[in-house]
Amino acid sequence: MTKGNVFISGASRGIGKTLAYQFANNGFTVVGTSRTEFEYDKKLENLIPIQLDVTSRDDIKTCFNELKEQDLLPNILINNAGITSDQLFLRMKDEDWDNVINTNLNGVFNLSKIFIKHMVKNKDGRIINISSISGLMGNPGQVNYSSSKAALNGFTKSLAKEVGSRNITVNCVAPGFIETDMTSFLDENTKKDLIETIPLKRLGNPEDVSKLVLFLASDEASYITGQTISIDGGLLMY
């Protein structure tokens, strides 16, 4: 596997944090971001936390310039930052829609747009977008979230076709129900009923996702691009 610099948005907890440690422990230099201030294990010098709002293009431009000065521009970009603001559509406020779209979709555009030029110049790069099965199957109360993730799948395919000739792959990972803060609100009965619908009879864990993402970033995955890969225990089969 070719080592390099990795940039992970939304990397202070859950899947993003697991990704950060997974890549750092495999010899990559990792810059992980969060909207709020946070820390990593200081023993890992190749794991760098920074505070960044992915919806702010001015902040991203400042971040880009700082990383360029430190020779930390990424050849692997993992767009993981995402939020939910669940509500039935008839009760959904404008800000519920705008906030989710701005973070989950516009944030991916903002980061990909500024970092991809470096990848094109070097004719080498991996962009991995973290989507959701909600973007593939829909989910009541998540019109905003499902829309943002469905759009991300289309973004992935289109961008993959544009930059494939520059040796840049663009793929999407669509997790199902993973044991993170986003599923912690489920009560035990709801969780039990949910597990019954999953062929593997368990929720996923962040490590399941991080191992797949690590593979997609590797040389072994160099002929995979434009794909949305579900990792959901068999919940969605098509």
**Annotation says 223 is catalytic:** no
Q: Of these residues, 21, 40, 145, 238, which one is catalytic?
A: 145
Provide the CB-side half-sphere exposure for 55 (13 A, CA): 11
Please give the structure tokens belonging to residue 23: 């890549």
Q: Coil, strand, or helix at residue 130? A: strand
Whether 79 and 125 have beta carbons less than 8 Å apart is answered as: no
> Which residues in 193-213 are b (16+ Cβ under 10 Å) and which e?
eeeeebeeeebbebebbbebb
Q: Which residues contact 48 (CB under 8 A, 6 or more apart)?
A: 29, 30, 31, 32, 40, 72
Residue 101's region, left for phi above 0, alpha for psi from -120 to 50, else beta, is alpha
Amino acid at the residue 211: K
Please give the structure tokens belonging to residue 162: 């544009």
Q: Measured between alpha carbons, how far is 208 from 231 in angstroms, rounded to an integer?
A: 8
Would you say how long the chain is, in residues?
A: 238
CB-CB neighbours of 34 under 10 Å: 21
* Residues tagged active-site: 145
